[in-house]
Amino acid sequence: MPMENPRVAFVLVRAIGDVKTLMNALAKEKNIFNIYNVAGDIDLLVEVRNKSIEGLRDVLNRIRSTKNVISTTSYIVLVKRGQTRKRS
């Protein structure tokens, strides 16, 4: 069942070791909706949703304490605008 008006955050994760193993560990968290392995100075981009800011904080703390996570930077969504163009 979808959450009504969830709080959304994107978490940039720097990691060491096997990123696939880290992605699998993070995927077990029910409030993590998408995990992207990306190129650049970060390793993962993680989409987190929760009913409250306090809930987001709890999820972020669990991400930070996951093995092989070096650091995180979090961005909380203030306003979301839906897709404005049709995909081709």
CA angle, residues 35, 39, 43, in degrees to nearest 5: 50
Q: Does 88 reside within a domain?
A: no
Q: Does 60 reside within a domain?
A: yes
pLDDT value at position 80?
Answer: 87
Domain count, the chain: 1
pLDDT value at position 63?
Answer: 98
CA distances from 60 to 44, 63, 80, 84, 88 (A): 14, 5, 20, 30, 35
* pLDDT tens series, the chain, 88 aa: 566 778 999 999 999 999 999 999 999 999 999 999 999 999 999 999 999 999 999 999 999 999 999 999 999 999 988 876 776 6
pLDDT value at position 3?
Answer: 64
**pTM given for the model:** 0.87
Domain of 11, in residue numbers: 7-76
